[in-house]
Amino acid sequence: MVGEAEAHSGWAARLRRFACPPPMEYCEFCRAEIPAEHAHLLDVAGRRLACACRTCALAFAGRVDAAYRAVPSRVQAMREFYLTDSEWSGFHIPIDMAFLFHSTPQARPIALYPGPAGAAEQALSVDAWSMLIANNPTLADLSPDVEALLVNRLRGRRDYYRASIDHCYALVGLIRANWRGLSGGGEVWDLIDSFFARLRLDGDGLAEQRHD
């Protein structure tokens, strides 16, 4: 029944949105104006997300050999996940937050973790990745490059999501833009908390990502 709850917005919010609309964004392929919520295509080799209109995104949907790949924006919280603390330390990821996926250009699994300067890479052994999949078989059908296992073990949490890569890069961007000083500052950690809170809501099916 949680899934049926819909979001409403009131007259004041609608008037404000009309009077001060957010800056327009453009499709990087055909230059059409696109709304704030839009589709993304992954530049596979450059590991960069490109904003796309619906038509351009659809043109790439289902093509796995192209330079750009459609990113089906979704997130699913994985309620039952098997990963021990020692297995996690075995991945040698310096912080308790990362996203793991299979990279086609590198032909192996990798982990990226966010930091003040953007995403840093940590190679994953094929064995470690196979072990993860063996223990959590739903990971077997992650789409290479565009879908990841997003891990949040900060402050004692043990949250695991199957998340499209746009969500993962959104987290990277948020941290890079808001990191202050050596420890990041209080604000960035609050923003990270609220990023994951939103992911939990979306991952529970409370909100569907729409690209109209």
Partner 1 sequence: MPDRDRARLDSSLCHIDVLIKAIEEAPESSAREPARELIEIVLDLHALALARIMAAAAACEDRRLLSTLAEDAQIKAMLLLHGLHPEEAETRVRRALDRLRPQLGVQGVGIQSGRVAVEAGRLVVHVFAHAGGDGEQRRAWRREIEQALLDAAPDLEEIVIVGLDDVDSPASPDNDLSRAALARG
Asked if residue 1 binds partner 1 (CB under 8 A), the reply is yes
Asked if residue 79 binds partner 1 (CB under 8 A), the reply is no
Considering the complex, state which of residue 66 and residue 197 has its C-beta at the smaller distance from partner 1. Answer: 197
Considering the complex, state which of residue 16 and residue 180 has its C-beta at the smaller distance from partner 1. Answer: 16
Considering the complex, state which of residue 115 and residue 205 has its C-beta at the smaller distance from partner 1. Answer: 205
Asked if residue 48 binds partner 1 (CB under 8 A), the reply is no
Q: How many Cβ atoms are within 10 Å of 42's Cβ, its own excluded?
A: 22
- Spatial contact of 68 and 41, defined as CB atoms under 8 Å apart: yes
Token pair 């709304």 is found at: 35
C-alpha–C-alpha distance, residues 13 and 106, integer Å: 46
C-alpha–C-alpha distance, residues 54 and 7, integer Å: 23
Q: At its nearest, how many Å lie between partner 1 and the CB of residue 14?
A: 6
The closest alpha carbon to 205, from 107, 19, 40, 77, belongs to: 77
Q: Check residue 21 and report its DSSP letter.
A: P
Alpha-carbon separation of residue 34 from 23, 24, 50, 56 (angstroms): 10, 7, 12, 11
- Which of these segments, 15-23, 90-98, 152-160, 173-181, binds partner 1 (CB under 8 A)? 15-23
Among 74, 201, 205, 211, binds partner 1 (CB under 8 A): 201
Asked if residue 4 binds partner 1 (CB under 8 A), the reply is yes
Among 96, 195, 205, 209, binds partner 1 (CB under 8 A): 195
- Which of these segments, 75-83, 119-127, 154-162, 192-200, binds partner 1 (CB under 8 A)? 192-200
- Spatial contact of 156 and 112, defined as CB atoms under 8 Å apart: no
Asked if residue 7 binds partner 1 (CB under 8 A), the reply is yes
Contact residues: partner 1, CB under 8 A? 1-2, 4-21, 194-195, 197-198, 201, 206-207
